[in-house]
Amino acid sequence: MDQSATKAVTETNDRPSTAPASLRADHQAPDRLVLQRGIFTGPSAKVSDELYAVVKGRAHRERLELRLDKGASAHTNTYFGRFAASYWQRWTTVTEVWATMVLDVTKRARIRLVASDIAGHRRIIDTAEVTASGPLTLTAPLDQYVDGGALWLEFDAIGGELGISAQTWTATAPDHVRPVAIAICTFNRAADCAETVAALASDAPILAAIDAVYVVDQGTDLVENQPRFQETLPVFGDKLRYIRQPNLGGAGGFTRGLYEVSAVNEHADVILMDDDILCEPETVLRLNAFANLTAEPTLVGAQMLFLLNPDYLNVGAEEVHLHELKHGQKVSKALRNTSMLKKNQERRVDAGYNAWWTCLIPAEVVAKIGLPVPIFFQWDDVEYGIRAREHGFVTVTLPNAAVWHADFYWKDYDDWARYFSTRNSLIVGSLHADLDGKAITRQLFRSLAEHLVAMQYGLVHTTLQGIEDFLQGPKILRDGGIAALAAARTGRADYPETIKHSAATPPVRSGDIQMRRAGGEPSRVTAVLIKRAIAQWTGRTQHGLIGVTREDAHWWHVALFDHVVVTDASQSGVRIRQRDKPRARALLIRTIRVLRRLRRDLPTLTEQYRAAVPELTSRENWERLYGIKPD
């Protein structure tokens, strides 16, 4: 391992990082800015080529080149092939785009520039019959797409082969191009992070457009020790900065990138990026181009495709329902859990915020609203997006720009992260909404009651722990979440059903397990909850060892039994739930006491958290958490 390469990019944690020179100044713009490129195959064999271009007939694909045999045809009316005309017309200063390409024509070819509307109806915008090789440009005004619609290209190889390369969508460039940095937060996913960094280095035009990459390593399995990372370092030159710091969660890792870049250039953009994604480098180009042409400084987010089901979109755009303490809610008319090989998002849907699997944040936002709140994990991206909007900065979730991230429904709801989700939802709700204490406590009681009858005692404990810590007020955020993380993890060890076991060798006799499928969801849910609670309390449940699949693990089904083997959502093992009346009684009493206090103290706590925001989000507070010594 070349230790000198590591030393050249590693920064000590007691002072701000030294920024690359290119990050310190705006860049001279070309005559035309590339908004997106024509990509014909993905970054991994796991990804379907039809997310990029659909071909009929024989053809040969490369990353930036497509060659059609005689009689073949192709179109880019695909997830990554479409140009999101509606979003560009609504949010940017662009009024016309050029679709430019270099053609290798042996006889004759037909090229069409095609558009859709909000209903998906197809119309031809421009067309060309080509008999000679060379460059070709088709143009389209952006004047009929406010509510929906996209642009794409169609190719026909007539009478001979047709090669397409150097295909770009361009627009008149702004006066200058903003510098951009990427900040990757990582914790003990060293191999994944090294691959993400390598993906950025694999695309020369993307690498040239990036002014800095900050890898913020908060773990003990260090990225710098990965051979893949060491192999990649020379490609970045002086652009890569490797920072080690205490584990302050996603909030602390991503904030470090914002902290570093906003100190260097008040007009720079920072793209926050998860460590464990499958990175599509083209997404960096598209987010950056969009941000350079928005009418006002704008947060620009990438969409998320599922890593295990790579053609499926998580959601077209998300919003938050603060009064219900719910984030990740689908914006009306947005696609959700949809195969992008089968359907396109024609309608423009406006996001309330964008999660930080990949999201661009302009420095003007940081200068105006401060840094994120140090809530460690969960809801930090939500809070920042809400606060930005309250100060006039919108978030755009840009279609046709995405990364692949671990599928959420493969993560079990019953884990330590529920502590942060509960606590932080209350914090964010208090900061940005006038929560109704009566309604909130009723909702929380209902949820906790469902967990109790489902014999998820550890989940009830973890949820109550989050509420109890919220009740301590802003002082709970003093250390950035380090103590809270330890407590959330260790407290669950007392609850056997939180432990995952091998499905092949569970701590019960496999021969005793009888599978029981769930029926339909009850129509009178409240009545059923009361009935299940009485049955659990009195022991009038079905006895014996029952097996329940993940898809059937509804509270109203599991609560019928007193000893259940439930498949973990990860499909990597099982958990054993068993009726425990004394424990259920203790948790019920604790629930009533905690929720009574929450209802009583919520107005006072709301005032305390709101008053603490300026100090919590200040550079000085984050410097203290990072251990940075002021100059």
Cβ atoms of residues 218 and 626 within 8 Å? no
What's the CA dihedral at 9, 15, 16, 21 to 10 degrees? Answer: -50
pLDDT mean over 341-370: 96
- Report residue 437's pLDDT band, with 50, 70 and 90 as the boundaries: very high
- Give the model confidence (pLDDT) of 99-126 as tens digits: 999 999 999 999 999 999 999 999 999 9
- Give the model confidence (pLDDT) of 182-211 as tens digits: 999 999 999 999 999 999 999 999 999 999
- Give the model confidence (pLDDT) of 239-254 as tens digits: 999 999 999 999 999 9
* Whether residue 17 has pLDDT greater than 60: yes
Cβ atoms of residues 299 and 358 within 8 Å? no
- Report residue 12's pLDDT band, with 50, 70 and 90 as the boundaries: low
- Report residue 631's pLDDT band, with 50, 70 and 90 as the boundaries: low
Residue 15 confidence (pLDDT): 64
CB atoms within 10 A of CB 228: 14
pLDDT mean over 504-516: 94
Task: Name the residue with higher pLDDT: 505 or 408.
Answer: 505
What does the longest C-alpha to C-alpha distance in the chain come to? 84
* Whether residue 339 has pLDDT greater than 60: yes
Q: Which three-class secondary structure string do you get for 488-557?
A: HHHHHHHCHHHCCECCCCCCCCHHHCEECCCCCCCCCHHHHHHHHHHHHHHCCCECCCEEECHHHCCHHH
* Pair of tokens at residue 305: 């495709």
Residue 521 burial (10 A CB sphere; 0-12, 13-18, 19+):
exposed
Q: How far apart are alpha carbons 188 and 221 in whole angstroms? A: 5
Cβ atoms of residues 358 and 275 within 8 Å? no
The DSSP code sequence of 452-482 is HHTT-HHHHHHHHHHHHHHTT-GGGGTTTTH
Cβ atoms of residues 396 and 350 within 8 Å? yes
Q: What amino acid occupies position 37?
A: R
Residue 7 confidence (pLDDT): 43
Q: How far apart are alpha carbons 141 and 83 in whole angstroms? A: 13
Share of the chain above pLDDT 70, in %: 97
For the chain, the average pLDDT equals 95
Residue 143 burial (10 A CB sphere; 0-12, 13-18, 19+):
exposed
Q: Residues of 472-485 as b/e, b for ≥16 C-beta within 10 angstroms?
A: ebbebbebbbbebb
Q: What amino acid occupies position 377?
A: F
Nearest to 212 by CA among 245, 184, 247: 184
- Report residue 520's pLDDT band, with 50, 70 and 90 as the boundaries: confident
Lowest mean pLDDT of 24-28, 72-76, 357-361, 571-575, name the range: 24-28
Residue 629 confidence (pLDDT): 81
- Give the model confidence (pLDDT) of 52-81 as tens digits: 999 999 999 999 999 999 999 999 999 999
Cβ atoms of residues 340 and 441 within 8 Å? no
Q: How far apart are alpha carbons 84 and 147 in whole angstroms? A: 11
Strand 574-578 versus strand 546-548 pairing type: unpaired
Task: For residue 481, give every residue at least 6 positions away whose Cβ sits within 8 Å of its Cβ, in sequence order, or none.
Answer: 248, 249, 251, 252, 374, 375, 376, 377, 420
Residue 22 confidence (pLDDT): 82
DSSP 296: S
Residue recorded with tokens 């497509």: 66
pLDDT mean over 603-618: 97
Residue 264 confidence (pLDDT): 87
Q: How far apart are alpha carbons 187 and 521 in whole angstroms? A: 39
* Whether residue 147 has pLDDT greater than 70: yes
* Whether residue 10 has pLDDT greater than 80: no
> Where would I find the H helices in 222-324?
227-236, 249-262, 281-293
* Whether residue 351 has pLDDT greater than 90: yes
* Whether residue 5 has pLDDT greater than 60: no
Task: For residue 359, give the H/E element and its range.
Answer: strand 358-362
Task: For residue 548, give every residue at least 6 positions away whose Cβ sits within 8 Å of its Cβ, in sequence order, or none.
Answer: 515, 516, 518, 557, 558, 564, 565, 566, 567
- Give the model confidence (pLDDT) of 379-418 as tens digits: 999 999 999 999 999 999 999 999 999 888 888 889 999 9
- Give the model confidence (pLDDT) of 446-502 as tens digits: 999 999 999 999 999 999 999 999 999 999 999 999 999 999 999 899 999 999 999
Nearest to 280 by CA among 65, 41, 82, 35: 41
Nearest to 374 by CA among 479, 492, 274, 453: 479
* Whether residue 225 has pLDDT greater than 70: yes
Task: For residue 455, give every residue at least 6 positions away whose Cβ sits within 8 Å of its Cβ, in sequence order, or none.
Answer: 497, 536, 558, 559, 562, 564, 577, 578, 579, 580, 584
Q: φ and ψ at 386, to 5 degrees?
A: -65, -45
* Whether residue 3 has pLDDT greater than 60: no
